[in-house]
Amino acid sequence: MGNCCGARFKAEIHNVSASVASSKYVSKDASGLSASSSKGSSASVPPTVRSEGEILQSSSLKSFSFGDLKSATRNFRPDSVLGEGGFGSVYKGWIDELTFVATKPGTGIVIAVKRLNQEGYQGHKEWLAEVNYLGQLDHPNLVKLIGYCLEDEQRLLVYEFMPRGSLENHLFRRGSFSLSWKLRMKVALGAAKGLAFLHSDQVRVIYRDFKTSNVLLDSNYNAKLSDFGLAKDGPTGDKSHVSTRVMGTYGYAAPEYLATGHLTAKSDIYSFGVVLLEMLSGRRAIDKNRPPGEHILVDWARPYLSNKRRILRVLDTRIEGQYSLGEAFKAATIALQCLSTEAKFRPTMGEVVLALEDLQNNRVSDPNTKIQDISYKDHNSGKVGTEKTNNAKASYPRPSASLLFS
């Protein structure tokens, strides 16, 4: 679970909000709703500005009554809790596949019901953003939203059940069966495909909360992204959003987004690099229980990633012997490139997918290649990138989505 310590916290970054007034690209709500948007008419699915009514009437989603979901989860029984996050608790339930009526446990289809336990507008906005994005998007690497419930103060979301839970649980839960190297790479590829789909020209969505607890796994370890509460329609061209409120999860947010509030798809790519590094190392993005100097995974691991002889220092000892040095180096190189301090030197998610596919198909480049030799053309700038040091420091321990400054 990403949220072991409870409530989210709120704040504004005033220096950033000052620049919003003059920004051409007005930052939208988390819901994707906005009174003013400068998006051109060429924008495609789902960057449409829709009213709450339009979102909720989205034909593919089932509107459940609170009573339906109460029955499906046997009155939100504590023993059916699948996990807890900043939004609320997630329960396991059963419904009939055709009628959507609650059924006995073990019959019909299994669902995951997320119940908002937080009052206020932010919770509603995130709930609506999830309905807006997941209600419109359909991809094998995005979790399927079946429906929602909006009744008085109640806000719930109904998803397909993901039997193997979150990547976070597999990597970090005590006593959990450790994922093999092969499965880790499969999950990385699946998650990368989900992000690449979101970033594609047809969709153009910035996910903004990519982390291990939001990568869910089906019975075959296919990865699916969940949680679109913080997602935003991506700006067109090379422009970025300027957020009045920097939202996300400490340890995963890109340094330039933390520093300036500028949000682009490259922020997601940085977060992907953090998650890939967590998968390679079996260490959390932020872990205050580690010795001094090792609390922030990216800062600690970065020097080892670029050196083939030292790379084993970073790799999870639980998967020792399951990969070749060439494979480990290639995966570390992808992570390092995603973690480039300068956003323009990060690859696109499309490039990451290709690199991970090569890795899966054993197309590992010359094992003698040194990281210093690996550079790639940045598609937007046309420049060739090289790595620089990351100075971003984050120290908040819990990996739960929130406003990132107070």
Task: Pick out the residues of the known binding site for ATP.
Answer: 114
Please say which residue, 250 or 323, places its beta carbon nearer to ligand ATP: 250
The string of DSSP codes covering 59-72 is TTSEE--HHHHHHH
**380 phi and psi angles, rounded to 5 deg:** -80, -45
112 binds ligand ATP, rule: CB under 6 A: yes
165 binds ligand ATP, rule: CB under 6 A: yes
* Torsion sign (Cα): 162, 167, 172, 175: positive
Q: Could you tell which of ligand ATP, Mg ion, none binds residue 190, using a CB distance below 5 to 8 A set by kind?
A: none
Rg of the chain over Cα atoms, rounded to whole angstroms, equals 21
85 binds ligand ATP, rule: CB under 6 A: yes
CA 117 to chain centre: 21
C-beta atoms surrounding 253 within 10 Å = 27
The window from 20-28, 220-228, 259-267, 278-286 that contacts Mg ion (CB under 5 A) reads 220-228
Which one of residues 3, 214, 244, 264 is an interface residue with Mg ion (CB under 5 A)?
214
* Binding to ligand ATP in span 169-228, by CB under 6 A: 169, 213-214, 216, 226-227
Q: Where are the beta strands (DSSP E) in 66-191?
A: 81-84, 88-95, 109-116, 145-151, 154-160
CA 63 to chain centre: 26
Q: Could you tell which of ligand ATP, Mg ion, none binds residue 401, using a CB distance below 5 to 8 A set by kind?
A: ligand ATP
For helices 265-281 and 349-360, what crossing angle results, to 10°?
A: 30
Please say which residue, 159 or 304, places its beta carbon nearer to ligand ATP: 159
- Residue 375 Cα distances to 292, 346, 398, angstroms: 32, 10, 34
> With DSSP H G I counted as helix, E B as strand and the rest as coil, what are the percentages for the chain, rounded to 5?
35, 15, 50
Q: How far is the CB of 71 from ligand ATP (least distance, A)?
A: 19
Q: Could you tell which of Mg ion, ligand ATP, none binds residue 87, using a CB distance below 5 to 8 A set by kind?
A: ligand ATP
Q: Could you tell which of ligand ATP, Mg ion, none binds residue 86, using a CB distance below 5 to 8 A set by kind?
A: ligand ATP
135 binds ligand ATP, rule: CB under 6 A: no
82 binds ligand ATP, rule: CB under 6 A: yes
Please check whether residue 147 is in contact with residue 63, taking contact to mean a CB–CB distance below 8 angstroms: yes
Which one of residues 68, 126, 227, 233 is an interface residue with Mg ion (CB under 5 A)?
227
- 68 carries an active-site annotation: no
Q: How far is the CB of 250 from Mg ion (least distance, A)?
A: 15
Q: How far is the CB of 283 from ligand ATP (least distance, A)?
A: 18
Please pick, among 79, 96, 201, 209, the residue that the annotation labels catalytic. 209
Tokens (6 digits) for 247: 């939202």
Which one of residues 1, 188, 258, 352 is an interface residue with ligand ATP (CB under 6 A)?
1
* Binding to Mg ion in span 76-105, by CB under 5 A: 85
DSSP secondary structure code for residue 403 in this structure: E
Please say which residue, 25 or 100, places its beta carbon nearer to ligand ATP: 100
Q: Which residues contact 102 (CB under 8 A, 6 or more apart)?
A: 68, 69, 71, 72, 93, 94, 95, 96
The residues binding ligand ATP (CB under 6 A) are 1-3, 82-87, 90, 112, 114, 143, 159, 161-162, 165-166, 168-169, 213-214, 216, 226-227, 400-401
Active site residues: 209
